[in-house]
């Protein structure tokens, strides 16, 4: 549970950093996202999930990042 809470905290830091550092650019970026078709967003989300799973696998199983 400690690891889970740590990961959630780190995700919140990473997610909040662009809004803190570049609020004007984030507004423009979010406006662009609203213009994208849902199918493109779905594929982008799928790609990001697969990449995240691959990174987790590599970090935990192969020790490539240690």
User: What is the model's pTM?
Assistant: 0.71
Per-residue pLDDT of the chain (66 residues; tens, 9 = 90+): 888 899 999 999 999 999 999 999 999 999 999 999 999 999 999 999 999 999 888 888 887 776
Q: How confident is the model at residue 12, as a pLDDT? A: 96
Please tell me the distance from the alpha carbon of residue 20 to that of residue 48, in angstroms, as a whole number. 22
Q: How confident is the model at residue 23, as a pLDDT? A: 97
Q: What is the largest CA-CA distance in the chain?
A: 40
């Amino acid at each position: 549970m400690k690891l889970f809470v740590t990961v959630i905290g780190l995700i919140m830091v990473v997610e909040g950093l662009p809004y803190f550092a570049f609020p004007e650019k984030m507004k423009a970026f979010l406006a662009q996202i609203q213009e994208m078709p849902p199918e493109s967003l779905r594929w982008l989300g799928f790609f990001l999930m697969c990449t995240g799973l691959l990174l987790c696998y590599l970090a935990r199983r192969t020790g490539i990042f240690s």
